[in-house]
């Protein structure tokens, strides 16, 4: 299968590192012009350099803005008023004892992980439907379905994101635009390394710490390892392509078999 996104512009939120940068790199390798977003221009510049190292002829630009706010969403849209592919990857996560999660923390998780996506879909979807082609992808998590006891607020936000995706897919019905969720399993990023060491012995070398984390806290994973960001990106690139034209309103899993279900 040859995926060609030449001539398509892709906006990827939260793309200065980790999964977002891997997704942007994968889209660029398929020929798309990519727009990186994040709050710090220096980190975005470093991410763009990394991307160009991987994809020598990449067309990449960046917009520094805070997409957790309405003002930040407006700033991005003003800078990039047209997108063929929108990947809402921006998100935060962390562990907290359930009864200690404050109202403010609940609101912060919802605003960052859900409303940041809604704001951008509201802006970009009309242009996509107007041209008769587009792809919206919301990066969710296994935690949307298997709610971890230590991060209920995070799980809640990702469950909401599945509903957002399904609802906007109905709004785009029959237009040539698809809207899907990608359910990512436990993934190896710098932030996740910090999270792992919150839950296992900090003295352990990384490979041992990873195995211990999976054994104690994610034992149902069939991979029995963390997923690499590039593995998430591979699915996103496919769902962004013409080949995925009949997949919409779906929650597509790249979870390493973590969710114990035979239904996608």
Coil, strand or helix: which one is 39?
coil
- From CA 170, how far away is CA 193, in angstroms rounded? 37
Closest CA to 60 of 12, 2, 126, 123: 12
Ordered strands of the 134-141 beta sheet: 60-64, 33-38, 9-12, 85-88, 134-141, 177-184, 251-254
Active site residue: 109, 124, 154, 258, which one?
A: 154
| C-beta of residue 13 within 8 angstroms of C-beta of residue 139 | no
- Return the residue matching tokens 């009309």: 126
- From CA 165, how far away is CA 157, in angstroms rounded? 12
Outline where DSSP puts E strands in 23-84: 33-38, 60-64
The DSSP H or E segment spanning 181 is strand 177-184
| Residue partners of 14: CB distance under 8 A and separation at least 6 | 20, 37, 38, 67, 89, 90, 91
- Is residue 238 part of the annotated active site? The answer reads no
For the range 126-130, what are the long-range contacts, defined as Cβ-Cβ under 8 Å and sequence gap of 24 or more?
127/81, 127/82, 127/83, 128/83, 128/84, 128/86, 128/172, 128/175, 128/177, 129/172, 129/175, 129/176, 129/177
Catalytic residues: 154
């Amino acid at each position: 299968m040859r995926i060609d996104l030449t001539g398509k512009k892709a906006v990827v939120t939260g793309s200065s590192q980790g999964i977002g940068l891997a997704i942007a790199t994968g889209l660029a390798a398929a020929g798309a012009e990519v727009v990186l977003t994040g709050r710090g221009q220096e980190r975005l510049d470093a991410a763009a350099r990394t991307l160009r190292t991987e994809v020598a002829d990449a067309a990449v630009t960046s917009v520094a803005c805070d997409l957790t706010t309405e003002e930040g969403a407006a700033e991005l849209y003003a800078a990039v008023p047209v997108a063929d592919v929108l990947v809402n990857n921006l998100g935060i996560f962390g562990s907290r004892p359930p009864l200690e999660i404050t109202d403010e923390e609940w609101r912060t998780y919802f605003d960052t992980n859900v409303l940041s996506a809604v704001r951008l879909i509201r802006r970009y979807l009309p242009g996509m439907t107007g041209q008769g082609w587009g792809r919206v992808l919301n990066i969710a998590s296994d935690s949307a379905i298997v709610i971890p006891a230590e991060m209920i607020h995070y799980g809640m936000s990702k469950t909401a994101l599945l509903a957002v995706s399904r609802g906007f897919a109905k709004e785009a019905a029959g237009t040539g635009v698809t809207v899907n969720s990608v359910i990512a399993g436990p993934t190896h990023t710098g932030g996740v390394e910090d999270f792992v060491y919150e839950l296992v012995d900090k003295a352990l070398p990384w490979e041992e710490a990873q195995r211990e984390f999976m054994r104690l806290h994610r034992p149902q994973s069939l991979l029995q390892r963390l997923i690499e960001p590039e593995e998430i990106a591979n699915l996103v690139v496919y769902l962004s392509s013409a080949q995925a034209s009949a997949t919409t309103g779906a929650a597509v899993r790249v979870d390493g078999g973590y969710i114990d279900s035979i239904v996608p």
